[in-house]
Amino acid sequence: MKAAGIILVVLVLAAVCAVGYLYLNANLEVRFVSCVALDGISQLESFNALKKSVESSTFVGTRFSSDPIGTADQYQFLEYTVALGNHAFLNAEVIEMRITPMQGDVLQIGEQPEHDLASGRETQLSAIILTSRNNHSVREATVSCYFWGIPFTTKLTLGK
């Protein structure tokens, strides 16, 4: 009986060490890829649809300002793209990117589907913000995900 107890204790310690190893090695590699600026006038149809959804309270995303949206010639869309690499043994779940707003930023367009990334895979993730036309494109972003329900975040500078 004593030998069985020692074996069980050793097995529990091995399991705890294995879970700790998985947790300590769980990370998501995040690299900035590109920033594309599109003038509001050149994207007039998208701008008008976005403005209409904000005015009718059906907008999906994050509003940075409660001020009413003006005309398309006052704004630009900035689309940021990052590359994600999951080099952990666990799946990364519910991956999202949030842009830290600056003065003049109006909103970040939300995405409906949740992004998951299997172990050993790579993908790209994009975020689009609407900002005033004269703003520069350098922003800070926070990419967050979950490994086994434990949250992980990575901050990086976009638009350099």
Give tens-digit pLDDT for 83-115. 999 988 889 999 999 999 999 999 999 876 778
Residue 138 has pLDDT above 90, yes or no: yes
- pLDDT of 89 reads 85
The residue whose two tokens read 């994050």 is 62
pLDDT digits (tens, 9 = 90+) for 19-74: 777 767 667 899 999 999 999 889 999 999 999 999 998 989 999 988 889 999 99
User: Are 146 and 113 in contact, with CB atoms under 8 Å apart?
Assistant: no
Q: Tell me if 148 sits within 8 A of 121, measured CB to CB.
A: no
Write down all domains in the chain, each with its CATH number in brackets: 28-158 (2.60.40)
- pTM (predicted TM-score): 0.84
Gap between the Cα atoms of 133 and 131, Å rounded: 6
What band does 16 get if pLDDT is binned at 50, 70 and 90?
confident
Q: Do you know the residue count of the chain?
A: 160
- Amino acid 26: pLDDT: 67
Q: How far apart are CA 110 and CA 131, in angstroms?
A: 15
Provide the pLDDT for residue 132. 93
Among candidate residues 125, 115, 120, 117, the one with its CA nearest the CA of residue 88: 120
